[in-house]
Each structure stands twice: as structure tokens, then as C-alpha cells.
Structure 1
Amino acid sequence: MGHATAQDGVRLYFEEAGAGTPLLFLHEFAADHTNWEPQLRYFARRHRCIAYAARGYTPSDVPVSPDVYSYVHFYTDALAVLDHLGIDSAHFVGLSMGSYSSLQVALNAPDRIRSMVLAGVGSGSSLEHLDAFRAQCRATAEQFETLGSVETAKVTREAPGRIPFLVKDPRGHADFYAALARHDAKGSANTMRGFQGGRPSIYTMTDAICRVATPALIICGDEDDACVAPSLFLKQHLPASGLMVFPKSGHVLNLEEPALFNEAVERFIALVEAGRWGARDPRSMAG
């Protein structure tokens, strides 16, 4: 346990376990570093595992200014954690917001990322509905500021992508939202307004994504409607990517199906480290 320092002085809390090739875990908006516990306990048997709380999520710092919550701040924060730990490059395992940051590292600092797991990636990317998505982000930010985290957690816990988790595991779902209710309301509001509502759509980065050589495993729940199309898009445009769809699953993939998630990620990383996860063979592509 400790703190790394971001480029702008924000302190980022992290925990680590195990030894070996490093894995960096990047959490989603509604989660924090603690939601990777099923993965840390599993992968620490063979890897050096690091999970950190993003800026705005205690015990990391919660900057007051909304101007320091952009997607650039978030992906460079991941690099700051690696720098603090003296790690040149790591396998990145992201969920949702964490997947977007992982992709940005692959786009902007490819030498720092050995591979990336992009789980629950791409919500809010639809160009047709982008204005509405950003308006909803602003409205949710206002809810955090006016109602607080406890009441906002009650409002958001039955979002469509969260229902499969509720159906499968009511106890786990309740624990997840009890944790969200303890999040810093100002940090959540700033993250929702700055990162979630301000990040570019992945559909505006097609040319750059096509040049990414980083091995990628894209994981999507088949009932996570907002992420199905973006996941397919990334599979079609990331040269060294594979796509896995979890049946009867929503957004919180690492907690909904921890055994399946761990198995998929473990196999992926083993193949990457063996040099057996390359770009798609052109002979497999339709003319």
C-alpha cells in the first residue's frame, strides 16, 4: 500500500500483491480499486498485481477543480503509478472507464503496455447519441453534488447494464452499491462531468486504433447493450485483438463472472507472453 504522484501532484493510492510479470488493474466509474479483489487474489499467485484508486476516489486525492479530470489525466495517472513502482511496462486489465484509459495508453505510450484487457468498453461512444449521453453525464454529476453519493447510488443501481449482476448475485450487487454510496460525491461528480462526459468517442479514433499493435482481449457481456457495438468495432479495427462475449452478462464482468473472467484473462496473458497472440492472419479475412 502506498501513494504514487501524478504529473500535477495528485496522490494516487495503490495496493499490490504477488511477484512476477506486472498486471495493472484499472477500475470503472462506479467501482474503485477494491473491486479487483477477486482478481488480485487469483493473479497474485503468478504475477505482480497492482490496483489503484483513480483521482477522485479516496484514499487517492480528490482534486477540487473539475479541470483536472480529463481522460488525459486518467491515462497519464496509470503511467504515474508504473513510474512510481519502477515498472517499464505492464499488462493492463481495465473495465469500462479503465478500459478506455488502457486504450489511450496503447495509443499514446505503446512501449508502456504489454497487452490490454478491454472489458465493458465503449459505452457512450455512439456518435448519434453522443450529445444525449453527455447531457446524462452532466445530470448525473449534478445528482452527486445535490443528492450525495448515498442517494445517487440508489438511483443508479438498476441501470440496464447492472441488472444481470442483480439477477445473478443480489448480495454482490448490494455490496457493490453500498461501496458506491461511500464514494466521495465531489470526486464522482467531477469524474462524471470531466472524464465520462468529455472523452472522445472511440469512433473518432479509427485511424489511430488501426495502427495499435498492442495485443488486446476485448470482453463484453451480451446484455451490456451499450458496449456490444463498440466491442465489435474494436475487434474489427485493433489488429491484434480477440473478442470474448460472456453469455447472460452485463457490465460488471469481473464480479458477475469472476471465475470466467480470471480464466479468460489468464489464458490471454499466457498466450501473449508466449508470443502466440499476434495480429490477425490476412488469410482469415473475407475479400
Structure 2
Amino acid sequence: MQPRTLVLKNIVLVSVAAMFFVASPSFAQQKGASSSEMQTKEVRVNDLTLHYIELGQGTPVVLVHGTLEDYRTWDGQLEAFSKGYRLISYSRRYHYPNEWPKDATDFSVTIHARDLAAFIKALNLPPVHLIGHSYGAFIAFLVARDHPEVIRSLTLGEPPIMPLLKTTPEGDALLTTAIATSIASSEAFKQGNDEEGVRRFTNGMLGEGSYEKLPPPVLKRLMDNVQELKGERSSRDLFPPTTCEDVQKVKAPTLLLDGELSPKMFHVINDMLEHCLPSVERATIPVASHQMEVENPQAFNETVLAFIAKH
């Protein structure tokens, strides 16, 4: 494995660890609609079955979750968005409850983007408001770039477009700092102890005892998707090359979201995106880190709904 590839893999794993810990207090307090109580639907795309839920009527809004998450991530958005839109939340390839393949070496943002474009077309949806978080935002960006005909508006919550980070003066230092906080949980995974692998990883990122503080719903969802984390580590092409010229190809009106408390690397990437995107707005979700839609769902919902109402 080339050093550059290893750097990019480690950096996304750092963001993942921050995601599920900081989200835990507000996750436990969420009220209202629960995706766990809803019957999933299925659609066949690219020779695999993807599970999804939907509720509401009107212009479609499609939600794209991040790493170690699934369609259940968006419980804090279900009620608010379904009042005026047809809301669709799906689980990406490799994520619960979709089937896990024997070989995940093809794991990449590119294959997920192909799936998402095919998913939208398979449901015969008109142009959608596409909302992505973290790795899901990177996927949504690629779909908006390569399939503009299916996009009405684009919302990106801190996409880890690491190739853009490498083009900034601060990029190398930010990558080095992130890698310094990484731990080696691979051995536990190799020994078949997935829970220990996740525990070591989380505590190594956030301090001893952090994993033990996670509420049961977060722990369950995390473990439901642990195979996906292992798949990322076996990927040959986790992040495709991305330049400012690539970003300029996105013509859809785009909202960039920052978590007020998020790691600096995400703000730097959003700075680059803001500079390169032709039609862009930017907003900060207060009192929230990377998992902003879970940590402060009210502010997230109000901000995004105001944006998509204009388009």
C-alpha cells in the first residue's frame, strides 16, 4: 500500500470515530418518528438489493448516510422533512441490512456513487434534493457532478474529499495530526474480535473509556455496520482523485454545512469547495461536531429546509 493511500484511509477512520462518540448524547434524546419501527422497502440496482424507507409526499429528498451508519441515521430528520417532501433514506452497499459480499476490495466512493445514481433512476424519481453526510456527502457530490439530470439541489455535510485537502497549505499538517491519533485495531479484526477492534479504535481516538460511554442504540448501529469499516480497510481505491476543476462541474445549487465543533480538516475542505463550486451557500450548525444532523437536528433541519425551499 502506498503511503498516500494509507494516509487517506486513516484520515477517514479518524472522522468516523469522532462521529459516533460526539453524537451519543443527542442520539439518546431523539424523539418522534423512528425508522426502526418502519418496514423497509427493497430495490434492485447494479446486481444487489438496497433497503430503504420513505414517508411523506411531494418533491423527493434523498438522504445519504456516512461511514458505519445506515438508513436509521436520519431519525432526527424524518418528521420535519416528511411534512412537505417525499423523504427517502436508504442503506448503501455493504451497510445494514443489505447483504455483505465476500469480497469488498472494490469498496470506493465511486461504486457507491454509481449505486446512488441507479437507485434514484430505479425509483423513477424526478430531480431530487440530495443530502449527504460525511462519506455519503462525497458520494452525493460525485452523483451531482456526473448525473446532473437527477439533481435539483445538493447539500453536503462535511464531505471527506481528502484529495482537496492535499492541495491546501495546511493539508499535510492536518493529515499528520490526524494519523498521530489513529490506533491499530486491525489485529483485533483479524482475530475475529470485531467488538474489541471497534473498542480499541474508539478509545484510541477519543480517550480511554469513550467507547464504554456510548449508549446502547449507538453501539448496536455501530456493530451492525462493522463489516463496512473492515471493508474500507481492504479497499484499493477509497478516494478518487478530485480537483477544483472537478468541483466546478457541479452546477446544482449547493449548500455546504460545517459543524461548529468539527475537526479543522473538514472546514479546510469546505473552504476549497466554497471557492470552487459555481453556485454555493454555506452555513454552520451550532453546538455540533461532524455528526451534525444527530447532534443538533433542529438547527440542521431548519437550515436545510430553508435552503431546499428556495430550489
Q: How does the TM-score come out when normalised to structure 2? A: 0.74
One-letter amino acid of the counterpart of residue 54, structure 2: E
In structure 1, C-alpha distance between the alignment counterparts of 2:112 and 2:183, rounded to whole Å:
19
- Structure 1 window deviating more from structure 2 (50-59 vs 120-129): it is 120-129
Q: Is the 8 A contact 1:249 1:256 kept in 2?
A: yes
Q: Is the 8 A contact 1:31 1:180 kept in 2?
A: yes
In structure 2, C-alpha distance between the alignment counterparts of 1:3 and 1:58, rounded to whole Å:
13
Q: Point out which structure has higher relative CO (alpha carbons under 8 A, 6+ apart).
A: 2
Which residues in structure 2 correspond to 1:119-138 (within 5 Å)? 119-122=157-160, 124-125=162-163, 126-127=165-166, 128-129=171-172
Which residues in structure 2 correspond to 1:240-255 (within 5 Å)? 240-255=279-294
Using the TM superposition, give the Cα deviation of residue 159 of structure 1 relative to its aligned residue in structure 2, in angstroms: 7.5
Matched, 1:221 2:259: yes
Match of 2:111 in 1: 73
Match of 1:10 in 2: 48
Q: Is the 8 A contact 1:4 1:80 kept in 2?
A: no
Match of 1:177 in 2: 219
Q: Is the 8 A contact 1:22 1:91 kept in 2?
A: yes
In structure 1, C-alpha distance between the alignment counterparts of 2:185 and 2:218, rounded to whole Å:
18
Closer/same/farther in 2, CA of residues 71 and 206 from structure 1, 3 Å limit: same
Match of 2:142 in 1: 104
Matched, 1:259 2:298: yes
Using the TM superposition, give the Cα deviation of residue 31 of structure 1 relative to its aligned residue in structure 2, in angstroms: 1.5
Q: Is the 8 A contact 2:260 2:285 kept in 1?
A: yes
Match of 1:235 in 2: 274
Closer/same/farther in 2, CA of residues 117 and 148 from structure 1, 3 Å limit: farther
Query: In structure 1, the residue corresponding to 2:282 is in which secondary structure?
Result: strand
Q: Is the 8 A contact 1:120 1:252 kept in 2?
A: no
Q: Is the 8 A contact 1:36 1:254 kept in 2?
A: yes
Closer/same/farther in 2, CA of residues 223 and 257 from structure 1, 3 Å limit: same
Q: What fraction of aligned residue pairs are identical, expressed as a percent?
A: 23
Match of 1:150 in 2: 195
Q: How does the TM-score come out when normalised to structure 1? A: 0.80
In structure 1, C-alpha distance between the alignment counterparts of 2:122 and 2:139, rounded to whole Å:
18
Closer/same/farther in 2, CA of residues 141 and 68 from structure 1, 3 Å limit: farther
- Structure 1 window deviating more from structure 2 (185-194 vs 112-121): it is 185-194
**How many pairs does the alignment contain?**
260
Per-residue CA deviations over 1:76-134 (Å, capped at 9, x if unaligned) read: 11122212211132111110011000100111111111111100222644325498779
Q: Is the 8 A contact 1:26 1:99 kept in 2?
A: yes
Closer/same/farther in 2, CA of residues 144 and 82 from structure 1, 3 Å limit: farther
One-letter amino acid of the counterpart of residue 152, structure 1: G
Question: Which of 220, 231, 235 lines up with 1:194 in the alignment?
Answer: 235
Q: Is the 8 A contact 1:149 1:180 kept in 2?
A: no
- Structure 1 window deviating more from structure 2 (55-64 vs 93-102): it is 55-64
Q: Is the 8 A contact 2:62 2:131 kept in 1?
A: yes
Q: Is the 8 A contact 2:181 2:204 kept in 1?
A: no
Which residues in structure 2 correspond to 1:54-93 (within 5 Å)? 54-93=92-131
Matched, 1:52 2:90: yes
Per-residue CA deviations over 1:40-67 (Å, capped at 9, x if unaligned) read: 2221111111111111112112112123
Closer/same/farther in 2, CA of residues 141 and 206 from structure 1, 3 Å limit: farther
Per-residue CA deviations over 1:131-165 (Å, capped at 9, x if unaligned) read: 877999995666545454422332344576x89xx
Query: In structure 1, the residue corresponding to 2:68 is in which secondary structure?
Result: coil
Report the aligned-residue RMSD: 3.0
Closer/same/farther in 2, CA of residues 95 and 77 from structure 1, 3 Å limit: same
Matched, 1:24 2:65: no
In structure 1, C-alpha distance between the alignment counterparts of 2:230 and 2:129, rounded to whole Å:
29
In structure 2, C-alpha distance between the alignment counterparts of 1:93 and 1:266, rounded to whole Å:
11
Match of 1:283 in 2: none
One-letter amino acid of the counterpart of residue 200, structure 1: P
Show structure 2 runs of 5+ residues with no match: 1-39
Match of 2:3 in 1: none
Closer/same/farther in 2, CA of residues 212 and 11 from structure 1, 3 Å limit: same
Closer/same/farther in 2, CA of residues 27 and 142 from structure 1, 3 Å limit: farther
In structure 1, C-alpha distance between the alignment counterparts of 2:184 and 2:243, rounded to whole Å:
26
Match of 1:268 in 2: 307
One-letter amino acid of the counterpart of residue 127, structure 2: S
